[in-house]
Amino acid sequence: MIPALGLVAGIVVGVLLQPEVPIWLQPYLPIAVVAALDAVFGAVRAVLDGIFNDKVFVISFLSNVVVAAFIVFLGDQLGVGSQLSTGVVVVLGVRIFSNVASIRRHLFSA
* Footprint on this chain of another protein (rule: CB under 8 A): 1-15, 18-21, 26, 29-30, 32-33, 36-40, 42-58, 60-64, 67, 82, 91, 94-95, 98-99, 101-102, 105-109
DSSP E strands in the chain: the ranges are none
Shortest Cβ 56–another protein spacing (Å): 4
Nearest to 85 by CA among 97, 73, 103: 73
Q: Given the complex with another protein, which of 38 and 84 has the nearer CB atom?
A: 38
Shortest Cβ 103–another protein spacing (Å): 9
Shortest Cβ 13–another protein spacing (Å): 6
Shortest Cβ 70–another protein spacing (Å): 12
Q: Given the complex with another protein, which of 74 and 105 has the nearer CB atom?
A: 105
Cα separation values, 44 from 34, 100, 101, Å: 15, 9, 12
CA distance 78 to 94: 25
Q: Position 92: which residue type?
A: L
**Maximum Cα interatomic distance, the chain, rounded to a whole number of Å:** 45
